Amino acid sequence: MDSSYLSDNFNLVITSLEPSFTWQVADRQKLSLKTGFTTLSGQSFFQPVTLYPLRLGWEGVVGPATVQAGITGYTYDRLRPDVGADARITLPLAPGLVVGGSIERTPMKYAPSTLETPHLTNYTVFGPSLFWQVTPTTRLTSFLSFLNVNDGNAGSISFSKVLQQLGQFSLGATLVTTSYARDSAPNYFTPQDFLIYTGELGWQGDVAPGWNLRLQFNLGEQRIRGEWSNAYYYEAQITAQLAKNIRAFVNYSFGEFQQVTYFRQLTGTNQLYGRSQVLAQVQFTY
């Protein structure tokens, strides 16, 4: 069971509750079913909208590769139904080195405006990924995604993160870039020139038997249309083994960055942009 609550200081609120079920159906094969709801509200000039996904998934091992695939039907309280699909393959190339590829078609579930412009916005995203455990205490995670939006826009997103464990502490560095053919603001965020980099300090350890705490702080800069501004982010997560077959976690994160000309033009204000999110999960194993 997954749940989340996301809000920003411009009144956007996204809430979701998504129970899922997984069954072992054969040797190294699983079926899954996921449902629930997501509500997007608080955006000026747009009515709230609620979507109800129903995903049927399969996971199996084919030779050395792990394959996942699913199809999702979306119904809405006031928009036409839609269908999404996803597939992913991961392949170990060497000890500690895993490459993958994925493709997904999904509604743009970022705000009411992203669903309603034009009428129902969806996109297809695909690309490769890499996980490399360089040493027992150093790892690299990276992916490159290409997007095609059904309004004719297209772009790419790259993400790279290197993390170094130092006992219970960790140091990391992250770089994210995006590039789109067309800037579709204010309907959705697709700048033609965007980059953000951060340094990360983290700590993780047991605070009581069966209870684990993780803390993380990121500080860096973002660049959009050639203009730089400061950004920071922090996160805390508590994970608990509540019983032999019950595991749960609660995660809180908050990020804030200084306004630049691009966002001042969209929001009409100089105030800092901040976004907070609460995630929770309860997992039952039988």
78-284: in CATH 1.10.15.40:
no
Tokens of 266: 């969209």
SS3 letters across 191-240: CCCEEEEEEEEEEEEEEECCEEEEEEEEEEEEEECCEEEEEEEEEEEEEE
Task: Report the alpha-carbon distance of residue 112 to residue 47 in Å, rounded.
Answer: 7
Whole-model pTM: value is 0.86
- The pLDDT profile of the chain, 286 residues, written as one tens digit per residue, is 899 998 887 778 999 999 999 999 888 899 999 999 999 998 877 889 999 999 999 999 999 999 999 999 999 998 889 999 999 999 999 999 999 999 999 998 888 888 876 666 789 999 999 999 999 999 999 999 999 988 888 999 999 999 999 999 999 999 999 998 887 666 667 777 889 999 999 999 999 999 999 999 999 998 887 888 888 999 999 999 999 899 999 999 999 876 666 666 665 666 667 889 999 999 998 7
Contact assessment for residue 215 and residue 186, using Cβ atoms and an 8 Å cutoff:
no
**By C-alpha distance, which of 45, 49, 143, 55 is closest to 103?**
143
* Degrees, nearest 5: CA angle 36-42-44: 135
Going from N- to C-terminal start, the domains of the chain cover: 78-284
Q: How far is 82 from 226, CA to CA, in rounded Å?
A: 37
